Amino acid sequence: MRVLGVALLAALALSGCVQYDLGVNFDGEHRGAIVQRIQLGEQLTSFSKSTVQQWLESIKKRSRELDGRIQRVSPQETIVTIPFASGKELEEKFNRFFNPVEQANAEVAQAELADLPKISSHLKVSQGNFIFFIRNHLVYDVDLRSLGVASQEGAVLISPGSLINLDFRVRSPWGGKDVSGKSDAIAPEFVNQGNQTIWHLQPGQINHLEFVFWLPSPIGIGALIIVLFVALGIFLKEKGFLVRSKG
């Protein structure tokens, strides 16, 4: 997110555009990935190759620390994929990636980032087991006020929304429901027959999202199938015994 601030400052100077697409993909109860797709305007990437290279190295280092991989699609587009195997691991990896803590270089990092926009984000994942299904509750908070210029009353005077597009996506097999419950909450967009939910984050504001969705539990469903097979076997055995007895 701090690197995103650097890209934004450059975009403001170059009238370029930054497309930052952050997604959380759930393929099952124990399988998923954090996927980031970053697209920079051509003018932005040619503005300072050293800055872009430094940014890529930082992304690469943090993704590798979390067993992730980085794919350079083109000089302007980069895709970062970080796998997770549970809701708890998703929460830990997500927050570690976007809020890295390097104690050894803390003072140096703080001095280098003193003049950059401060962006904070936090993801919380709660899961409940209902035997055959898993209820997932995602709460995502991201403070993007530093990406806008506000008046003393707090109203946003200048927003870089036309220069930077920030999207947060959740993909789940059965879709889900937005439960933020606030009148000023961002209305999500449902695509791919409801299996993918997209929030267009607002620069210059505090964004709060809450989302609930369900996943099938392979263990619970597997146990049910075994019980049904056993019950069917007992039924057929007893029925066969009764037929032989009558014969």
Instruction: Note whether 124 and 227 are same-domain residues.
Output: no
Residue 2: its pLDDT value, please? 53
| pLDDT band with cut points at 50, 70 and 90 for residue 155 | very low
Instruction: Note whether 85 and 105 are same-domain residues.
Output: yes
Between 188 and 8, name the one with better pLDDT: 188
Average pLDDT of span 66-88:
91
| pLDDT band with cut points at 50, 70 and 90 for residue 103 | very low
| pLDDT band with cut points at 50, 70 and 90 for residue 18 | confident
Residue 72: its pLDDT value, please? 87
Cα dihedral across residues 150, 167, 178, 82: positive or negative: negative
Instruction: Note whether 11 and 33 are same-domain residues.
Output: yes
- Return the exposure string of 50-87: e unless at least 16 CB atoms fall within 10 Å of the residue's CB, then b: eebeebbeebbebbeebebebeeeeebebebbbbbeeb
Average pLDDT of span 34-61:
74
Provide the domain limits for residue 230.
219-247
Instruction: Note whether 125 and 201 are same-domain residues.
Output: yes
The encoded tokens of residue 208 equal 């709060």
Checking if the pLDDT of 111 tops 50, the result is no
Checking if the pLDDT of 91 tops 90, the result is yes
Residue 189: its pLDDT value, please? 92
Between 117 and 76, name the one with better pLDDT: 76
Please tell me the total count of domains within the chain: 2
Query: What are the φ/ψ torsions at residue 123 (nearest 5 degrees)?
Result: -115, 135
Instruction: Note whether 166 and 234 are same-domain residues.
Output: no
Q: Model confidence over 177-222: pLDDT tens digits? A: 999 877 667 889 999 888 999 999 988 888 999 999 999 887 766 7
The encoded tokens of residue 67 equal 């067993």
Average pLDDT of span 32-50:
75
Instruction: Note whether 76 and 137 are same-domain residues.
Output: yes
Instruction: Note whether 128 and 168 are same-domain residues.
Output: yes
The two most distant CA atoms of the chain are separated, in Å, by 94
Which 3-state string (H, E, C) describes 155-192? CEEECHHHCEEEEEEEECCCCEEECCCCCCCCCCEEEC
Instruction: Note whether 121 and 48 are same-domain residues.
Output: yes
Residue 187: its pLDDT value, please? 84
Pairing relationship of beta strands 156-158 and 189-191 according to DSSP bridges:
unpaired
Between 20 and 242, name the one with better pLDDT: 20
Instruction: Note whether 74 and 125 are same-domain residues.
Output: yes
Average pLDDT of span 122-144:
91
pTM of the model: 0.77
Instruction: Note whether 36 and 101 are same-domain residues.
Output: yes
**Portion of the chain with pLDDT greater than 90, in percent:** 33
Residue 42: its pLDDT value, please? 66
Instruction: Note whether 243 and 180 are same-domain residues.
Output: no
Instruction: Note whether 14 and 121 are same-domain residues.
Output: yes
Average pLDDT of span 110-138:
77
Mean pLDDT of the chain: 77
Checking if the pLDDT of 8 tops 60, the result is no
